[in-house]
Structure 1
Amino acid sequence: MCGIVGLFLKDETLRPELGRMLSDMLITMTDRGPDSAGIAIYNAPSAGTWKLTLQSAEPDVDFAGLSEALVAGNIPARVTVKDTHAVVETTAGIADVRTFLTEARPKIRIMGTGESVEIYKETGLPKDVVDRFNVRAMSGTHGIGHTRMATESAVTTLGAHPFSTGADQCLVHNGSLSNHNNLRRTLIREGMTFETQNDSEVAAAYLTAEMGKGKDLGEALTGALDDLDGFFTFVVGTKSGFGVVRDPIACKPAVMAETDQYVAFGSEYRALVNLPGIETARVWEPEPATVYFWDHEKAA
């Protein structure tokens, strides 16, 4: 049992409130999974700039002088430290930063990369995780969150959601996959790498692989209905999009709401009750085996 939330803003005036609203939604779901939590925040990208969200068990050591070290390595970068995480903004390639970190700071973990996404996740209660990273103060266009009850893997930072396996793409999952080991082996043969034994990381990697073939998020989620076995609810973010899909049985709880200002997802309705205009929103339970998909670029 886990709690997942998502919020896709149509109204630009709400962007300064994204972190606050998403934090409140996630904290409301605490009793669905209190061992770890995470949030992905998407913001409008800056042309030519990449972001990497890093995590360290020893941030005072690993992040000390990191900005200067990157510049000395011919990687122009700005580093913003937030508790155990740091966001590196750079005009260099992501591959260059990865290579540098592997050689110079091998204990640092990369939580996510892309033009617009930042991912913050740690063990502990959602309220504590939100406070540690000051998520309430963050603005953005859309975001997803997860509070976890570990049932099939250890309670660790890497085991927390969201899982990101591609640029500006991440996933949160409630449920369990039965064919993730076979699918992991297939994806490894296709060049994917994995850091955990969590089935949700496999789901994220599957979507990354499918989108790498030129599919949009909606098409990739449709393929998941055929290729992934088990019971699942996925909420997925991309640079400009937000998608939801439930397996054909749909035994995990889920509710959605839409207004002219936003689209929201919660494992339970109580996660949505404090959103503006919820009393007049169209509220519904997502249908089994049905893909719901919104995209800022297609709406523009």
Structure 2
Amino acid sequence: MCGIVGLFLKKDDLRPQLGDMLTDMLITMTDRGPDSAGIAIYGDEAGPLKMTVQSDAPAVDFAGLDVALAGILEAPVTMKVIDTHAVLSLPEGGEAAARSFLDARGIRIMGAGTSMEIFKEIGLPKDVAARFGIRGMGGSHGIGHTRMATESAVTTMGAHPFSTSADQCLVHNGSLSNHNQMRRRLTEKGFAPKTQNDTEVAACYISSRLAEGVNLGEALEGTLEDLDGFFTFVVGTRNGFGVVRDPIACKPAVMAETEDYVAFGSEYRAFAKLPGIDAARVWEPEPATVYFWER
């Protein structure tokens, strides 16, 4: 039993309020999973490559990290430290070398892309959001998750969202029954999950399908055939977010849409503080149906 939220803004004048609205939505879902929380924020639609990283000892690991990376990449690197996370701006073509360098130092990579930043940690949503200043973050859309660990330990890396492709991440409510079998198959294909969380298996599955040349909608449809269990997936991309539920639709889900936004929540109460919610079209997404909104 976890809590998922998602918010896609149709109008640019609401962008400064994205973090504030997402934070309220996620805090409302706290009792669905109080052990850890995370949010992905999609800000600039186009810009330099950004990589969000995490360390349990940021004062040590982040000291001079930008200078060291700049030396490796032979190009300027900027770094914005936010609590246990840092957002690195890297030169074009520098991702592979940066990943190797960070892995060697034991610095964890949360995700990369030109618009996505991911922040996640152990703790209550209100505390995690406050640590990273999520309320002050603007953007076009975002997704969030508050976790109740059922299949793996309570760790930062076990928290959602999971990102295994550029500017793409996934949050999940439910459980997969064939994740170990799928983990082996994905590892053989070069998409090995790094944690024991079954949600990361789903994220790697989607990335593997995209690498095969299918589009995101087809990859989400593939989850209905290849992933067994009860699940609701919400996927964030550079341009929007998508939703799919298993064929039984076991896990709760509700959506709301106005002229200003599209919102997803595990429960309706997640929408309570959204502007204009009283006039929104509210519905429950159908089982085995892919929904997607893009800018």
Normalization by structure 2: what TM-score?
0.97
Residue 58 of structure 2 corresponds to: 59
Residue 224 of structure 2 corresponds to: 225
- 1:236-247 → structure 2 map (5 Å cutoff): 236-247=235-246
Is 1:166 aligned to residue 165 of structure 2? yes
Residue 282 of structure 1 corresponds to: 281
Amino acid across the alignment from 1:131: A
Residue 128 of structure 2 corresponds to: 129
- 1:253-272 → structure 2 map (5 Å cutoff): 253-272=252-271
Amino acid across the alignment from 2:100: T
Could you list the runs of 5+ residues in structure 2 that have no partner in the other structure?
A: none
Residue 193 of structure 1 corresponds to: 192
Structure 1 runs (4+) greater than 4 angstroms displaced: none
Over the aligned positions, Cα root-mean-square deviation in angstroms equals 1.0
Q: Deviations over 1:129-182 (max 9, x none)?
A: 000000000011110000000011100000000011111111000000011111
Q: Secondary structure at the match of 2:250?
A: coil
Residue 30 of structure 2 corresponds to: 30
Q: Secondary structure at the match of 1:226?
A: helix
CA drift at 1:72 = 2.4
Residue 95 of structure 1 corresponds to: 96
Q: Distance in 2 between matches of 1:251 and 1:130?
A: 29
The number of residue pairs the alignment matches comes to 293
CA drift at 1:277 = 1.1
Q: Distance in 1 between matches of 2:252 and 2:171?
A: 14
Q: Secondary structure at the match of 2:292?
A: strand
Q: Please say if residues 34 and 147 of structure 1, whose CA atoms lie closer than 8 Å, have aligned partners that are also in contact.
A: yes
Q: Secondary structure at the match of 1:99?
A: helix
CA drift at 1:258 = 0.7
Q: Deviations over 1:92-117 (max 9, x none)?
A: 421121122234xx121000011111
Q: Distance in 2 between matches of 1:43 and 1:220?
A: 24
Q: Distance in 2 between matches of 1:188 and 1:107?
A: 21
Task: Name the % identity.
Answer: 69
Q: Distance in 1 between matches of 2:276 and 2:209?
A: 36
Moved more, 175-184 or 38-47: 38-47
Q: Distance in 2 between matches of 1:135 and 1:176?
A: 28
CA drift at 1:211 = 1.8
Q: Distance in 2 between matches of 1:59 and 1:39?
A: 19
Q: Distance in 2 between matches of 1:180 and 1:270?
A: 31
CA drift at 1:45 = 3.3
Amino acid across the alignment from 2:35: D
Q: Please say if residues 79 and 86 of structure 1, whose CA atoms lie closer than 8 Å, have aligned partners that are also in contact.
A: yes
Normalization by structure 1: what TM-score?
0.95
Q: Please say if residues 54 and 86 of structure 1, whose CA atoms lie closer than 8 Å, have aligned partners that are also in contact.
A: yes
Could you list the runs of 5+ residues in structure 1 that have no partner in the other structure?
A: none
Q: Secondary structure at the match of 2:171?
A: strand
CA drift at 1:216 = 2.5
Q: Deviations over 1:206-245 (max 9, x none)?
A: 1111122233222211111111100000011011120001
